[in-house]
Amino acid sequence: FHLTGVRLAPQGKLDVPVLFMPDEMRTYKTAVVIHVMRENGENWPYKVTGKPNTVFNRNLTVAENGETQGILWVYPIQGMSEAPQPKSVVIRCQARQRLEQRVEMMLIGVKPSETALPNASSSATVNAGESSNTQEVTDGSPETLEFVYELQCQSDEIKSQLESWLGMELVQKEWDTESRIVTLIFNVVFAPSKPIRNEAFLAVQCTRGGLWRFPLVLIATEPEVDDVINIEAVGLNKESIVGLKLTSQTR
């Protein structure tokens, strides 16, 4: 929108409302431009003498006599469309055990460019040897879709702990062109070393725009009993000693 005639006192504050209502799952870019001129119509005595493409002179509007007529402030804005959060995916495993399973994440509202639309639903397998969490998935069309994903936790400490126990790899993508739903299939490996219950998010972002966050509930139940220690008394009021070894998995 374009708004003019706003008066601002010296040392005053100007609030600029910004409303974002995306209708597609993509990235939107715009800018808020504020043009300040003197209320009495006079110019500032500063004359533009340098090159017009310098950072300072680009933010000035110049009158016919070369004096500064107005000053510009430009604030770039990037809007990221985010889908509503679905129900939580629960991953449960007994402590000191290893769970490996496939998890499907449905991305609703993916809108590729017109040239990337295939004739029918298709799927492709991603190279499982990739070390990066950015996977390029071909769909049989002239272009490809790229998805970047990461694990988001309440704190860095929880994230560091979960990353040592949890591994997620994008292995397959299925694209239904009629419903515009992309199904990402992840191979999840969960190997907790102690009982926990933590909540996290798997954030998936398409390089063409759009953000999907899938809630995860990670549960590690009590481990199996290691062994039973039997202590046999040697007599009344006498000590009996049994030795056992404990091995630490960390330093």
Mean pLDDT in runs of 10 for the chain (251 residues)?
80 89 88 89 77 70 83 90 91 95 90 45 32 43 70 93 93 83 93 94 88 95 92 90 85 79
Angle at 196 between CA 155 and CA 159, to 5 degrees: 25
Q: In the prediction, which pLDDT does 119 show?
A: 35
Q: 165 lies in a domain?
A: yes
Q: 235 lies in a domain?
A: no
Write down the residue that tokens 């309440």 correspond to: 154
Indicate whether 26 and 106 sit together in one domain.
Answer: no
Indicate whether 89 and 8 sit together in one domain.
Answer: no
Q: 1 lies in a domain?
A: yes
Q: What is the pTM of this model?
A: 0.66
Q: In the prediction, which pLDDT does 133 show?
A: 52
Domain stop point among 80, 95, 127 = 80
Indicate whether 94 and 207 sit together in one domain.
Answer: yes
What domain range is 102 assigned to? Answer: 83-113+145-221
Indicate whether 72 and 89 sit together in one domain.
Answer: no
Q: In the prediction, which pLDDT does 246 show?
A: 86
Q: In the prediction, which pLDDT does 223 show?
A: 94
CA distances 20 to 73, 212, 231, 235, Å, are 21, 17, 70, 80
The enclosing H or E element of 143 equals none
The token pair at 247 is: 């091995």
Q: In the prediction, which pLDDT does 54 show?
A: 65
Indicate whether 3 and 68 sit together in one domain.
Answer: yes
Indicate whether 102 and 212 sit together in one domain.
Answer: yes
Q: How many independent structural domains does the chain possess?
A: 2
Indicate whether 95 and 64 sit together in one domain.
Answer: no
Indicate whether 161 and 62 sit together in one domain.
Answer: no
Which residues, in sequence order, are CB contacts of 46 under 8 Å at separation 6+? Answer: 60, 67, 68
Rounded to whole angstroms, the Cα distance separating 97 from 160 reads 19
DSSP3 helix / strand / coil % (the chain, rounded to 5): 5, 45, 50
Indicate whether 56 and 176 sit together in one domain.
Answer: no
CATH code, 193: 2.60.40.2310
Indicate whether 73 and 155 sit together in one domain.
Answer: no
Q: 62 lies in a domain?
A: yes
Q: In the prediction, which pLDDT does 11 show?
A: 87
Q: 133 lies in a domain?
A: no
Q: 249 lies in a domain?
A: no
Indicate whether 75 and 90 sit together in one domain.
Answer: no
Q: In the prediction, which pLDDT does 38 show?
A: 87
